[in-house]
Chain A
């Protein structure tokens, strides 16, 4: 609400570019069955390794060319986005819920809850994350659920560390003491006084984590440990593209661009949202 004391929001180019790309990519992913020009799984060996539309020898209607089995790259990218976003939202949200809750408890209560939670985080973080993910998926079996669980199980510590530190700072503030004096209980104060002040960081981390989840999913796809191999994933596309880099560079480059833009946008969006949500920064 604009009042004479809040500065009007400046148009934040970074935030809008990032948000714009993510909305565009998300819309494509959601509407894939209606938007994708071709069946992403339909093979046609006569049309193998066709270049993108501006090159010589391109086939009309196959905008970004085809892979070695003649499958339409654009359609495969759009369908790959579905899995990328699904993993991003589900895994990041799960990691955020677990990590932020534990971080808030550790930071606000201190004492033995903090000691227990912090030791668990220390131990957790000493596993190499990608290997940990591969191990987890190997144990849980491949599939979308396993990928989501694996990412959440590995990355909750990221939230826990940051939110713990912020909650610690907040819990020493006078308004926390004032709430105690007014007669409020500890859990109530944690939720009502401390949580709103760490919320901007939680949102920024959540957005960042969505980008990270997409990368981890791509890595797992790359090593063929993500979901069933038939469905196109960005990591899977990159793995295929790597094999034919000398004959058909586009099969590698377009998924990389999609991955890069999406991950970058998530991190920029997080930073922009943090400023929006912070009553003092905005």
Chain B
């Protein structure tokens, strides 16, 4: 089975030469959820942006390949790549407040890609998104279609964005901390909704998060990142039962447990952080050698 997404040795640098991604390699199989876990600045969102072709202009991909369904994205022209990625990869963004255009109606924003990029006719596109709005459990969908974003709550907007992401039946969805900007009470519903939609549509998801509780609920595979470097990759039950790296163990100890709320939560210990710094230094050394 060809993986839906393969990333090999991906490195990206900031203008000074500092690396935000260090030899990142990972696979996402069709229909599988892979969580990318790490602290802020670990490079987890950067991986998503690299796949989607929207790296910030200051960040440069200096090595590595990204394959989508076996197709090397680096081998394509910019416009071909945009169309291929647009048709096969979707994004569930972090902040539903800024991810919808405030001056356009929801219906036109949701059907935009289907009609203008994928060439569907308008009737077919609207039938499709009506069906998806039902799937994401929006009750008065006709009103929502006519609304402007500011007329909807944050949770509703995130439902709209989830529906939009699934509309074109993409092979892969990048979910960039989709519950972070939401109210705690809504987070759980949205998470459950994404999980349900993922199962129904058998879509592969690259799920970016810093919340190990979320990881346990939604994903099958986990990649732990620190400073742009992959620390550990494993299946979700293996990772939680038998974490191999000291940092992963420390992260697990730093996460509150739902089933044992009185358990002690510990910050990541200094010796673990020192170990990580050594690994980063060694990685830098190897990189400089590689550059010559």
Contacts and interface: CB of A to CB of B under 8 A. Distances in A.
A113 B98 CA distance: 26
Interface string A145-183: 000000000000000000000000000011101111111
Nearest to A195: B103
B143 A196 contact: no
Nearest to B97: A174
Given A5-B151, A181-B85, A181-B89, A196 B54 contact: no
A278 B148 CA distance: 11
A1 to B, nearest CB: 8
A188 B115 CA distance: 14
Contact of A279 (B86, B112, B148): B148
Q: Which residue, of A1, A181, A192, has the highest number of chain B Cβ atoms within 10 A?
A: A181
- What's the dominant secondary structure at chain A's contact region? helix
A196 B150 contact: no
B146 interface: yes
A193 interface: yes
B76 interface: no
Interface residues of B, number: 33
Contact of A180 (B54, B143, B147): B54
A193 B103 CA distance: 8
A5 B147 contact: yes
Contacts of A126: none
A183 B101 contact: no
A6 interface: yes
A184 interface: yes
Interface string B75-99: 0000100110111011101110011
B151 A181 contact: no
Interface string B47-89: 0000011100000000000000000000000010011011101
B91 A181 contact: yes
A280 B79 CA distance: 35
B100 interface: yes
A279 B103 contact: yes
A180 B98 CA distance: 15
A183 B93 contact: no
Contacts of A173: 98, 101
Contacts of A278: 103
Contact of B101 (A5, A188, A197): A197
A1 B142 CA distance: 14
Interface of B: 52-54, 79, 82-83, 85-87, 89-91, 93-95, 98-104, 109, 112-113, 116-117, 143, 146-148, 150-151
Given A175-B98, A180-B54, A197-B101, 13 more contacts: A3-B146, A174-B94, A174-B99, A180-B82, A181-B86, A181-B90, A181-B91, A183-B86, A184-B86, A193-B104, A196-B101, A196-B104, A197-B102
8 contacts: A5-B147, A174-B99, A175-B99, A183-B86, A184-B86, A185-B79, A188-B116, A278-B103
